[in-house]
Structure 1
Amino acid sequence: MSGNTKPELSKSLTGLHLWGIAVGLVISGEYFGWSYGWAAAGSLGFLVTTVLIAAMYTTFIFSFTELTTAIPHAGGPFAYSYRAFGPTGGFVAGFATLIEFVFAPPAIALAIGAYLNVQFPALDPKVAAVGAYVIFMGLNVAGVSIAATFELFVTVLAIFELVVFMGVVSPGFAWSNFAANGWAGSNSFSITSLSGIFAAIPFAIWFFLAIEGAAMAAEEAKDPRRTVPRAYIGGILTLVVLAFGTMIFAGGVGDWNALSNINDPLPQAMKAVVGESSGWLHMLVWIGLFGLIASFHGIIMGYSRQIFALSRAGFLPPVFATVHPTRKTPHWAILAGGVVGIAAIFSDELIQIGGLPLTANIVTMSVFGAIVMYIMSMAALFRLRVLEPKLERPYRAPFYPVFPAISLVLAVLALGTMIYFNTLVFGLFVGLFAVGYLFYRFTADLRGSGDPLLNLAHMEARTMTDTP
């Protein structure tokens, strides 16, 4: 590779791979994390929250796909905001995405540990979580085609297991169980219920968090302009059905309060129906691990591409833009995100804030990054429609400007309410952003010529704007 050639990723992913990545990135959200929303809002209140967030994500994906197909770049949202708002906009979107994708894996790794602990009580969940990092960072280093094929395989298994879960617990389902004290611990709606609905937003977002990460694989897709829309639309529809089905069936088999502050709600819900010794329960624990593994493995792929893209453009140290000479994978970026994630797993005193479990706070931190990125992405969509009306858009957001506006308004509402209910975690989020911004401001020399894809795009955008 010559000194002037930028590192390139291998183009080997099919549309089916992209669908597997889009769903796999998210599907662990059906297995754990969301049930903390019941503790905040009650089962009925959280159902309302989930309807609002599902609307936000559906309109977001139908709009976001326009950006992904028009600008297929490993940086995903970073690239779109750079093109629309320049380097500072790129930094905001890129660093927010980085926080989302670096902080989601430790929460999932801890859930993997909790699931394994069900079968092996002597196993420390944190040790299991670190072991998961080592195994799946290695798989991601091995090659993108291998990693994506594995992702597709475990995603299909995870979907199958969720369908099995709903079928097995259905004989024990009763709507009266689900609705009992469903408004933040009360049988009737009140102001407290409304407060709970907003407080539960991070955990409803966990149902869908990271689906946008498939955009970071677009640069490695064989035909992103055709395959990405199919993968995204199929993915969001799959996830909406699974999210509502899983939540409603789990909450209707007994006392949903018993599931509201644990990392393994589905095995515990099934246990209430079939008993501790049932083969169905053991199958759920083992196959259910595939759902967690699918997201864990996929998000490692996502954070590594975000670190790679930011480094290639000069926003992070250039060593993280190094591509393995034979595997063509960003191996140093994969390892860097893993180091941060493992540190988070063992940082109980730092991250356990406000009396909430460690996992809940990590989820909230990741969601803060996601929401900021969603806002930047929808703003970039509107701006690029004005700046670059002639930009080739193989897919255009339907019902424009209504869909992106709905997504943008709901994202801003979600951010505001999350700040109100999670002030301390937001303070930590701002602190991380401040550190990243200082690095950005004092390392302009790293950007030099930067990523030619981004510089050329931004120069073209400015030229079109300045033309009389």
Structure 2
Amino acid sequence: MTEKLKPTLGVFHLWGIAVGLVISGEYFGWSYGWGVAGTLGFLVTTLVIATMYTCFIFSFTELTTAIPHAGGPFAYSRKAFGDTGGFIAGIATLIEFVFAPPAIAMAIGAYLNVQYPELNPKLIAVGAYIVFMGLNIVGVKIAATFELVVTILAVIELLVFVGVVQPSFSFSNFALNGWAGSNTFSLSTVSGIIAAIPFAIWFFLAIEGAAMAAEEAKDPQKTIPRAYISGILTLVVLAILVMLFAGGVGDWSKLANINDPLPQAMKTVVGHNSPWMHMLVWIGLFGLVASFHGIILGYSRQIFALGRAGFLPSSLAKLSRFGTPHRAVIAGGIVGMVAIFSDSFIQIQGMTLTAAIVTMACFGALLMYIMSMLSLFKLRRSAPNLARSFLAPGYPVIPAIALVIAVICFASMFIFNPTIGAVFIGFLIVGYIYFRLTAKQRAMSEESING
């Protein structure tokens, strides 16, 4: 009997997952883009990436509703391009979703370290893994309800941040030396705009993970489009607001290349001991927790789907007595906890560990976006009778815009991040060797046997 996930999630739960997966990107990670592009340069990068994501989500929703499968992009690419296509999309998604959580866990440690300097941020990060892996194992309805609550609190807190710092906002502060550390646009500015791509992606990275809860969605043909469209609109508005107001209250260069830009921005306005400051740190943790918890849900479903289809060991597709893929949760968590301590052994391109992990996750995301859009075009031709309750608006222009921007970003990242790009290719090669050696495992998988 094939292991099946139970449909228990409504539109609000799915919106909470879609926004919650991403919302930590509004709290940290993006400010590294200021370090390479400046505020104005990074604003240009962000607007281009926001365009890509908006076009992508409107197109991706067609695939999600037509093929509501826990594997998400893996399932779409497999249907379009066979096992090899499924492998490429599956490993790309796995890299994205397994590498994003350790960056978020370290940001949780950094936020708590603001309040309690004596605490070790890495130990806090490991503790976060243990707590939220456990919550994901207990049950998806409980996990999704928790995700919805903390996501709503995180959105409210971002709006509070904007309201508190707004009286001190000045666009002249934001624009000062805003072109890669200069007041004038130049060729180096263009390089900075391109180099900042991964950090603009971080504003929106993983929203597609809600597709991995599609098997657990009630009436996915209706609930998923509503959740996705409202989710991407929510995130675009928040990203622009947070970036503008954080950069306009003082010297933005002091916020570049740190894991807690919002508390530091608010500190310049209200001081270290203000109740507003303490509230931002504590409630701001909800944003990090929402994404951390949501991405654990996402990677576990991806590992589960790959195991069920024989692309990973079938033991990873077993469900707990709570009906959750507990082994998949634990497997991804172990990889993430190892990554947290890898900065003692790995120095990549002079980056901080957080910036390196963000960049690696973005490589995986972009490859998956490319495969998803190619799958959309392919399935329109090869499976014209596939039940599509939602059609990508503006087809083929809208999905083509998403595809072209994703390809340009993917190629550009290799130019500006050659070492991390080489490591990413190494992961793909190792994965492909495993893929080639396990054809019999896929043929004997529960999914193949049971159709």
TM-score range, shorter chain: over 0.9
The equivalent residue for 1:295 is 291
Shift of 1:439: 1.0
Paired residue for 1:109?
A: 105
Give 1:34-433 correspondences, 5 Å limit: 34-324=30-320, 326-433=321-428
Distance in 2 (CA, whole Å) between partners of 1:24 and 1:226 is 20
Instruction: Report the equivalent of 1:464.
Output: none
Which of 27, 35, 58 matches 2:23?
Answer: 27
Question: Taking every aligned residue pair, what percent have the same amino acid on both sides?
Answer: 69
Aligned counterparts of 1:211 and 1:350: Cα–Cα separation in 2 = 31
- Could you tell me whether the CA contact under 8 Å between 2:23 and 2:151 is conserved in 1? yes
Q: CA deviation at 1:433?
A: 1.3
Q: 1 CA distance for matches of 2:423 and 2:39?
A: 29
Aligned in 2, Cα 1:455/1:67: closer, same or farther, shift over 3 Å?
Answer: farther
Would the aligned equivalents of 1:344 and 1:351 in 2 still touch at CA under 8 Å? Answer: no
Secondary structure, counterpart of 2:6 in structure 1:
coil
Aligned residue type for 1:427: A
Aligned-partner Cα distance in 2 for 1:455–1:247: 49
Scaled by the length of structure 1, the TM-score of the pair is: 0.95
Unaligned runs of 5+ in 2: none
What are the superposed Cα offsets for residues 404-453 of structure 1, whole Å, 9 maximum, x if unpaired? 00000000000011000000001111111111111111111111244548
TM-score, normalised by the number of residues in structure 2: 0.99
Query: Residue type of the partner of 2:408?
Result: L
CA drift at 1:454: 11
Equivalent residue, structure 1, for 2:435: 440
443-452 vs 410-419, greater mean Cα deviation:
443-452
Amino acid at match of 2:129: Y
What's the offset of the Cα at 1:86?
Answer: 0.1
Equivalent AA in structure 2 for residue 47 of structure 1: L
- AA matched with 2:329: I
Compared CA separation, residues 70 and 454, structure 1 to 2 (3 A): farther
Q: Could you tell me whether the CA contact under 8 Å between 1:104 and 1:366 is conserved in 2?
A: yes
In 1, are the aligned partners of 2:98 and 2:335 still within 8 Å (CA)? yes
Instruction: Point out 4+ residue stretches in structure 1 off by more than 4 angstroms.
Output: 453-456
The separation in 1 between residues aligned to 2:346 and 2:398, in whole angstroms, is 35
Tell me the distance in 2 between the aligned counterparts of 1:352 and 1:361.
9
Cα distance in structure 2, aligned partners of 1:413 and 1:218? 29
Distance change (3 Å), C-alpha of 1:75 and 1:419: same
1:350 deviation in Å? 4.5
Cα distance in 2 between the residues matched to 1:302 and 1:334:
9
Counterpart CA distance in 2 for 1:100 and 1:68 is 18
Corresponding residue for 1:6? 2
After superposition, give the CA deviation of every residue in 1:276-319 in whole Å (9 maximum; x if it has no partner): 11000000000000000000000000000000000000000111
Distance (whole Å) between structure 2 residues aligned to residue 436 and residue 47 of structure 1? 36
Q: Which amino acid aligns with 1:80?
A: Y
Q: Tell which deviates more after alignment, 28-37 or 439-448.
A: 439-448
Give secondary structure in 1 for the equivalent of 2:60. Answer: helix
The offset of 1:352, in angstroms, is: 3.0
Q: Give the conservation status (yes or no) of the 8 Å contact 1:166–1:249.
A: yes
Quick check: 2:2–2:450 contact (8 Å CA) kept in 1?
Answer: no
Does the 8 Å contact 2:111/2:260 carry over to 1?
Answer: yes
Gaps of 5+ in 1: 457-468
